[in-house]
Amino acid sequence: MEIFERIRRKKDFLAVVGLGYVGLPVAVAFSEQVKTLGFDINREKINIYRQGIDPTREIGNTKMQGSTLEFTTDPGRLKEAKFIIVTVPTPVNGDKTPDLTPVINASRMIGQNMSAGTIVVFESTVYPGVTEDVCVPILERESKLTCGEDFKVGYSPERINPGDKVHTLETIQKIVSGMDRDALENIAAVYGLIIRAGIYKAPSIKVAEAAKLVENAQRDINIAFMNELAMVFDRMGIRTQDVIAAMNTKWNALGFYPGLVGGHCIGVDPYYFIYQAELLGYHSQIIAAGRKINDNMAIFVANAVIKKMIQADKHVKKSSIYIMGITFKENCPDIRNSKALDVCKHLAEYGIKVKVVDPVVDKAEFQRECNEELVDIGDVHDADCLVFLVAHRQFKELELTELAGMFKQQNQPETNVVVDIKNIFAYSSIIEMGYCYWSL
Residue-wise pLDDT tens for the chain (440 aa)? Answer: 789 999 999 999 999 999 999 999 999 999 999 999 999 999 999 999 999 999 888 888 999 999 999 999 999 999 999 999 999 999 999 899 999 999 999 999 999 999 999 999 999 999 999 999 999 999 999 999 999 999 999 999 998 887 777 788 999 999 999 999 999 999 999 999 999 999 999 999 999 999 999 999 999 999 999 999 999 999 999 999 999 999 999 999 999 999 999 888 888 999 999 999 999 999 999 999 999 999 999 999 999 999 999 999 999 999 999 999 999 999 999 898 899 999 999 999 999 999 999 999 988 888 888 888 899 999 999 999 999 999 999 999 999 999 999 999 888 889 999 999 999 999 999 999 999 999 99
pLDDT at 320: 95
Q: 3-state SS string over the chain?
A: CHHHHHHHCCCCEEEEECCCCCHHHHHHHHHCCCCEEEECCCHHHHHHHHCCCCCCCCCCHHHHHCCCCEEECCHHHHHHEEEEEECCCCCECCCCCECCHHHHHHHHHHHHCCCCCEEEEECCCCCCCHHHHHHHHHHHHHHCCCECCCEEEEECCCCCCCCCCCCCHHHCCEEEEECCHHHHHHHHHHHCCCCCCCEEECCCHHHHHHHHHHHHHHHHHHHHHHHHHHHHHHHHCCCHHHHHHHHCCCCCCCCCCCCCCCCCCCCCHHHHHHHHHHHCCCCCCHHHHHHHHHHCHHHHHHHHHHHHHHHCCCCHHHCCEEEECCCCCCCCCCCCCCHHHHHHHHHHCCCCCCEEECCCCCHHHHHHHHCCCCCCHHHCCCECEEEECCCCHHHHCCCHHHHHCCECCCCCHHHCEEEECCCCCCHHHHHHCCCEEEEC
Give the orientation angle of helix 240-247 with respect to helix 205-236, to 10 degrees.
120
Cα end-to-end distance, the chain, whole Å? 53
Q: Nearest-CA neighbor of 409 among 384, 429, 436, 376?
A: 384
pLDDT at 327: 94
Give the orientation angle of helix 205-236 with respect to helix 269-279, to 10 degrees.
110
Q: Is the dihedral of CA 153, 175, 160, 230 positive or negative?
A: positive
pLDDT at 347: 95
pLDDT at 248: 95
**Active-site residue set:** 265
**Integer angstrom CA distances of residue 59 from 62, 232, 245:** 8, 41, 35
Interior/surface letters 202-211, b for 16+ CB within 10 angstroms, e for the rest: beebbebbbb
Domains defined for the chain, CATH in brackets: 2-203 (3.40.50.720), 227-439 (3.40.50.720)
Yes or no: say if 46 and 26 are a contact pair by the CB < 8 Å rule: no
**Integer angstrom CA distances of residue 89 from 106, 273, 346, 408, 415:** 10, 16, 27, 43, 44
Strand 199-201 to strand 321-324: parallel, antiparallel, or no bridges (unpaired)?
Answer: unpaired
